A = this chain, B = another copy of it.
Amino acid sequence: MAVELKELTKRSENYSQWYNDLVVKADLAEQSPVRGCMVIKPYGYAIWEKMQRQLDDMFKETGHVNAYFPLLIPKSYLSREAEHVEGFAKECAVVTHYRLKNAEDGSGVIVDPAAKLEEELIIRPTSETIIWSTYKNWINSYRDLPILCNQWANVMRWEMRTRLFLRTAEFLWQEGHTAHATREEAEAEAQKMLHVYGDFAEKYMAVPVIKGVKSANERFAGALDTYTIEGLMQDGKALQCGTSHFLGQNFAKAFNVQFVDKNNKLDYVWATSWGVSTRLMGALIMTHSDDNGLVLPPHLAPIQVVIVPIYKNDEMLKKIDAKVEGIVNKLKAMGISVKYDNADNKRPGFKFADYELKGVPVRLVMGGRDLENNTMEVMRRDTLEKETRSCDGIEEYVQQLLEDIQNNIYQKALNYRNEHIVKVDSYDDFKEQIEKGGFILAHWDGTPETEDRIKEETKATIRCLPFDADEESLTPGKCMVTGKPSARRVLFARAY
């Protein structure tokens, strides 16, 4: 067994340490010398690229186009929208100067005090302000609408406590920013994109999510409504996987973006924004992986199939090489990403452990006896089950197996999630239940004060008011804390 695996903390011992170990040992990411900023390593970035490509296709299929807006935002822009500045101004990287110069004592470089900016610039924590200041020039009439732009970009929020992928000062994301002539159209867009995110999470990441709307406390700063998809990690904590915001006319008013409608009347433009980030990497890892390492959904695995030869001498290796070549070519022709690892500087046992750690969904092994028998050993990473199969038709078998694995890990995560949603009616029960992890459906009086109190006393937050709810959950009741009337049950959890 490879050293790397031995050193991976078990989930049952310390889930948090298991996650940290895994991200580093599976070569996904590491801390950088810049506090709170990460280096995304090639293997981690390859997964992110597959996510990007798929999401980008889905955005384009729904009529969106990509564009690029500046990294830096004038400080004054942030305060144009009153709630927005409260939410974001606190944690921004601020550019104050534009030049360095040599220190006179030869000790290196210093900031040139003569090169001070008249107005400080903020590294974008999100781009609503700079984009709406730009849209002002793009929009005159209803004919200019809708605008359906997306941007793939880096953003920065000066977080004090950071964890790789889950919360970093700099992260990568996409942010959609759309402009519409009517309230209805903007609301429909915000919901449509939430469903795109939901489909992506479930069909590609194999992460089941609960879709719903946020309470006022958890809303995006400047939004009228924030829609969310919420996943449940294996430690029972929720993770917000993506959000889509109906912004009303707030940013249009802040940046004075008006249009002439079909009746020749001036009105402010309606807006949405929506984003997912490298945080999805955290959701992917924590939903499926196990004590042996990553478990990747085949639809996003950079390497879907690895083939390892076991051989006693060069002659045998040559025979295996020749046999495997045809299988590799056929798998590639089927659109399957396959790696044949016949490198001679690592032993098979090391390779097995390494590819398990890296979550490659299917491993094929061919040894001397397999060569004689025209067979291979097939191992699936999700269950670690092995079987020996004939090489005839193995490509079709592997193709089907990849789909089986994709479905199986989704179903497994779905079962876990469904087993961890409970209804609770008293605050005492709630306090007891929340310690066990998972989602709780409970009644709440709808006030921010009660929500704050629950958060303070239990560290649980309202994840959302789920769109899909059974009849009982939608029946009015009494708040578990105050006893005041409650319109419906809402979804609580402790969250990342």
Q: A residues engaging B (CB < 8 A)? A: 30, 32-34, 37-42, 45-46, 49, 65-79, 85, 89-102, 108-109, 111, 120-123, 130, 133-134, 137, 143, 149, 153-154, 156, 158, 170, 172, 345
- Bound form: Cα–Cα A109–B154 in Å: 23
Closest to A88 in B: B100
Which one of B67, B90, B102, B108 lies within 8 Å of A45 (CB-CB)? B67
List of B residues within 8 angstroms of A153 by Cβ: 154
Inter-subunit contact B68/A121 (CB<8 Å): no
Inter-subunit contact B122/A73 (CB<8 Å): no
Which one of B69, B94, B99 lies within 8 Å of A95 (CB-CB)? B94
- Bound form: Cα–Cα A149–B40 in Å: 11
Q: Which of A66, A109, A345 has the most CB of B within 10 A?
A: A109
Inter-subunit contact A100/B92 (CB<8 Å): yes
Closest to A147 in B: B42
Inter-subunit contact B70/A42 (CB<8 Å): no
- Bound form: Cα–Cα A25–B76 in Å: 29
Inter-subunit contact A34/B74 (CB<8 Å): yes
Given contacts A72-B93, A90-B100, 15 further A-B pairs with CB under 8 A are: A33-B130, A33-B133, A34-B74, A45-B66, A46-B65, A46-B66, A79-B108, A85-B108, A89-B101, A89-B109, A90-B101, A93-B98, A94-B96, A99-B158, A123-B123
Closest to A66 in B: B45
| Minimal beta-carbon separation of A321 from chain B (angstroms) | 20
| Minimal beta-carbon separation of A274 from chain B (angstroms) | 17
Inter-subunit contact B98/A92 (CB<8 Å): yes
Given A37-B70, A68-B45, do A76 and B108 touch, yes or no (CB 8 Å)?
yes
Inter-subunit contact B111/A154 (CB<8 Å): no
- Bound form: Cα–Cα A170–B101 in Å: 21
Inter-subunit contact A67/B94 (CB<8 Å): no
Inter-subunit contact B149/A42 (CB<8 Å): yes
How many copies of the shown chain assemble into the complex? 2
Inter-subunit contact B172/A109 (CB<8 Å): no
- Bound form: Cα–Cα A153–B78 in Å: 24
List of B residues within 8 angstroms of A74 by Cβ: 33-34
Inter-subunit contact B96/A111 (CB<8 Å): yes
Inter-subunit contact A42/B67 (CB<8 Å): yes
Given A39-B68, A154-B154, A170-B72, do A32 and B130 touch, yes or no (CB 8 Å)?
yes
11 pairs, CB–CB < 8 Å, chain A vs chain B: A32-B130, A32-B134, A42-B149, A45-B68, A71-B123, A75-B108, A75-B109, A79-B109, A94-B96, A94-B97, A153-B154
List of B residues within 8 angstroms of A40 by Cβ: 67-68
- Bound form: Cα–Cα A10–B208 in Å: 58
List of B residues within 8 angstroms of A89 by Cβ: 100-102, 109
List of B residues within 8 angstroms of A90 by Cβ: 99-101
Closest to A108 in B: B79
Inter-subunit contact A95/B70 (CB<8 Å): no
Inter-subunit contact A92/B96 (CB<8 Å): no
Inter-subunit contact B93/A39 (CB<8 Å): no
List of B residues within 8 angstroms of A75 by Cβ: 100, 108-109, 111
- Bound form: Cα–Cα A69–B168 in Å: 13
Closest to A53 in B: B53
Inter-subunit contact A95/B98 (CB<8 Å): no
- Bound form: Cα–Cα A73–B95 in Å: 13
Inter-subunit contact B72/A37 (CB<8 Å): yes
- Bound form: Cα–Cα A413–B94 in Å: 45
Which one of B33, B85, B109 lies within 8 Å of A78 (CB-CB)? B109
| Minimal beta-carbon separation of A36 from chain B (angstroms) | 9
Closest to A93 in B: B95
